Amino acid sequence: MAIRDALAGVGLPVVEVHISNVHRREEFRHHSYVSAVADAVIVGAGVSGYRLAVDHLIEKLTWDTPLQATHEAR
């Protein structure tokens, strides 16, 4: 719970990444406290999930900031 609360309070986008498909695994792995505060959840994409997460964060941080109008003006 402390990690979830810290992620919720940091003011930055969050992507939760699971290398394997947790929904194909044990029942206790099906619930995540982080998902509720995550902007995206990537499940079962293998290690490529980390690249997808970084790409998403770059896009989110580039376009979802107060400087968005500056980007659009270019």
Question: Using CA atoms, how far apart are residues 58 and 40, in angstroms rounded to an integer?
Answer: 13
Element spanning 69, H or E: helix 68-73
pLDDT bracket for residue 63 (50, 70, 90): confident
Question: Helix, strand, or coil here: 21?
Answer: coil
Q: What CATH number matches the domain at 2-69, 3.40.50.2300, 3.40.50.1000, 3.10.20.740, 3.40.50.9100?
A: 3.40.50.9100
* 68 pLDDT higher than 60: no
| Domain layout of the chain by residue ranges | 2-69
pTM of model > 0.75: yes
pLDDT digits (tens, 9 = 90+) for 19-62: 999 999 999 888 999 999 999 999 999 999 999 999 999 999 99
Q: What is the pLDDT of residue 1?
A: 84
